[in-house]
Chains A and B, each alone.
Chain A
Amino acid sequence: MISYALRRVLSAIPIALIAVTVCFFILRLAPGGPFDGERALPPNVMANLRAYYNLDQSLPMQYLIYVWRLLHGDLGPSMVIDGFRVSDLIRIGFPFTLTMAMSAFVVATAIGIVAGMIAAVNQNKWPDYVLVLVVMIGVVVPNFLSAALLQLVFGVYLKWLPAGGWVNGSLTHLVLPVTVLAWPHAARISRLMRGSMIEVLGTNYVRTARSKGLGERLVLARHAIKPALIPVVSYLGPGLSYLLTGSLVVEQVFGLPGIGKYFITAALNRDYGIVLGTTILYMFIILALNLLVDMLYAWLDPKVRYR
C-alpha cells in the first residue's frame, strides 16, 4: 500500500510540471496578452510586470524564474490592480470557498450514497422512482439556473432564506448556495451508487454472504457497500473539481466572498495574473485530491495495488 502511494505521488509530479509549463506559455504567448504591446497597461503595472517576469531575460530563463517562484509558493501578481497578488486573493477568498465546497461535497456525497443505496434496495418501488426524478433534475438543470429558481422561490416569494449576500457566520446564508452546489453532485453520486449497488446485490459473492445467514443488514454493510463504492470513489475526484469550479458560479450568483467571485471579476477584466495563478492553485488542489481518491480506491479494491 505504501509503495503504491509513493508510485502514485511520483507519477503526479510530471503532470503538475506539464500543467505549469502549459500555463506559463499560455500566459506568455497568448494573443492580446498583457505582454502584447498593443494593450495599454498602466505604467506602474507594466513596470511591475517587467520586474516580476524579468522581461529582459530570454524566454527559457523567464520560464525557469517562473517555476522557481512557484516552488516557493508564489503564484504571481495581478496585472490590473497594482500591488495585488494571487496570494492576497487566496488569503481573502480561499477559506470561504473551501468551506463551502467541502461542506457541499461531504453533504452531497453522504446523501448521494445513502439515497443510491435506498433506491437500489427498493429497486422499481416508489423510493426508487422518486430518486430517479430528483436525480434527473439535478443532472439536467445547470447550477446557475437552479440558483436563480431557488432564489426566486425561497428568497423572494417564500422569504424563508436570504436570497443572497453574506453575513459573517450566518448559516442561513449558506443553505441555498450549498444546496445548489450539492444537488448535481449528490444526483450523480446516487445514480452511480444505485447502479453499482444493484449490480453488486446480484453478484455471486453477495449470494454467498446471504447463504451464511449473516442477516441482510450485515450483508449490505460488510459485503455490498465496499465493492459498490468503487465506481463512486472513482467519480469523487472529477466530482470535486466540478464542485470547486461550480463554486465559481454559485459565489457569483449569490454574491459570496469566495475566490470564485474575484476569479470571475478578474476574467472579466482580463487579468491574466490572477486567472493563471488561481488556475494553477486549483490544479494543484485537484491533483492532490485525485491522489487521495486513488488511495481510497486502492483500499476498496485490493487488486489495484498490484497494478
Chain B
Amino acid sequence: MAGITGKDAILTDYANKLEKLDAPKGRSLTQDAMRRLLRNKAAMVSIILVVLIVLAAIIGPYFVPWGYAEVDWTSIRKPPDLSKGHVFGTDQNGRDMLARVLQGTQMSLIVAGVATVVSVVIGVVYGAVAGYFGGKVDAVMMRFVDIMYALPYILFVIILVVIFGRNPVLLFVGIGCLEWLTMARIVRGQTLTLKEREFVEAARAGGAKPFTIILRHIVPNLTGPVVIYATLTVPEIIITESFLSYLGLGVQEPQTSLGTLISFGAPVAEVLPWMLLAPAGVLVTLLLCLTYIGDGLRDALDPKDR
C-alpha cells in the first residue's frame, strides 16, 4: 500500500531539484540533505531505533533461549514470565512469543529488502535505458510508466499472490516488480542530465558501448536517489507484507512474519493480549520510525519548509 511516507511527492521534488543542477552540485545537494538529517532529532532517534530492531531481528534469535517453533509444554498460553525466559509470553502452542516476534520481524525485513532491491534494480535499468536512448524509446517507455501509475497497485499484488501462491520470497520479488515506477522516473531524469556531461561524452567518443556507459558512468552517480528511495520503499513493503499475511495471503505457517503474528493474535486478543500487542508494537514502532525518517528526509531536502 503505497503512500504512507508520501514517497512519490518527496522523490519527485527531489528529482526535479536534481535535474536543475549538474551532477557535482547534485551530489552536494544530497550531502547537504544528509547533514540536515543528522541534525534532526526525531529522525536520528528513529534511525537508531530502526538499526536496533534490525540488529535484534538478525542476531536476536541466537540469544533467545527458545526457538521460534520450539514448544514449551510447561507453559502454554502464558503471559510474559521472565523466570522461564518467555519475555513476551507464549502462544496457544507453547511457543515463545519473543522468538516468534524476532523471527517475524526478520521475515518482514527480508521480504521488504528483497522487494526494494528488485524494484531499485528494475527502476535503475529501466530509467537509465529510457533516459540514455531518449527520443521515441524514452517516450514509449515513460508512457508505459504513466499507465502503470494509473492502475490499482494492491489488486496487482493480489493477482501476484494468486500466481505465486505459497512462496513468500518469490511473491515479494513480484511485488518489487510492481514498485519500480518512481525509481525509474527519477533515474531517467538523472540520466538525461548526466548524459550531457563531458565524462559521458568522452566515454562515448572513446567508443564505449551504451550499457558500459550506463553501468560505469551513470549508475554510480545515483547513490543519493537510491538511498532515499530505499528508505521510503521499505515501510511500504512492510505494510504490504503484513497486510497480505494478515489476510492469509502472504507468509504461511510455520514461517512467520509480523502480519502473520498479528493475524493470529487478533482473534485471541481478549484472552491472550500479549499475542497481539507484541508484534503490533514492533510493527508500529518500525513504521513510525520509518515515517519519521521519511519526514526528516523531506525536510532535509526542502529546508524552506521550516
Contact = CB atoms under 8 A, between A and B. Distances in A.
Contact of A278 (B150, B155, B247, B288): B155
Interface stretch (B18-26, B86-94, B160-168, B181-189): B160-168
Interface stretch (B99-107, B113-121, B213-221, B238-246): B238-246
B287 interface: yes
A87 B159 CA distance: 19
A275 B161 CA distance: 11
B56 interface: no
Contacts of B276: 148, 152
B284 A275 contact: no
A252 B247 contact: yes
B248 A268 contact: yes
Interface stretch (A47-55, A100-108, A213-221, A242-250): A242-250
Contacts of A286: 150-152
Contact of B162 (A136, A141, A272, A282): A272
Interface stretch (B31-39, B71-79, B124-132, B262-270): B262-270
A25 to B, nearest CB: 12
A275 B249 contact: no
A283 B162 contact: no
Interface stretch (A27-35, A59-67, A88-96, A113-121): A27-35
Contact of A145 (B151, B155, B284, B291): B284
B269 A148 contact: yes
Nearest to B239: A142
A276 B152 CA distance: 12
A167 B263 CA distance: 25
A287 B150 contact: yes
Interface in A142-174: 142-145, 148-149, 151-152, 156-157
Interface in A1-58: 14-15, 18-19, 22, 26, 30-33
B52 interface: no
B245 to A, nearest CB: 10
Contact of B156 (A14, A238, A246, A279): A279
Contacts of A275: 158-159, 162
A270 interface: yes
B151 A19 contact: yes
> Which range holds the interface residue count of chain B?
35 or more
A267 interface: yes
A244 B152 CA distance: 10
A280 B161 CA distance: 16
**Interchain residue pairs A-B with the least CB separation, the first 4:** A148-B266, A245-B154, A279-B155, A144-B246
Interface of A: 14-15, 18-19, 22, 26, 30-33, 136, 139-145, 148-149, 151-152, 156-157, 188, 238, 241-242, 244-246, 248-249, 252, 263-264, 267-268, 270-272, 275-276, 278-279, 282-283, 286-287, 290
27 contacts: A14-B147, A19-B147, A19-B151, A26-B159, A26-B163, A33-B163, A139-B4, A139-B291, A144-B247, A144-B259, A148-B269, A156-B270, A157-B270, A188-B3, A241-B153, A245-B1, A248-B154, A249-B246, A264-B247, A267-B158, A268-B249, A272-B162, A275-B159, A275-B162, A279-B152, A283-B151, A283-B152
Interface of B: 1-4, 144, 146-147, 150-156, 158-159, 161-163, 165, 239, 242-243, 246-249, 259, 262-263, 265-266, 269-270, 276, 280, 283-284, 287-288, 291
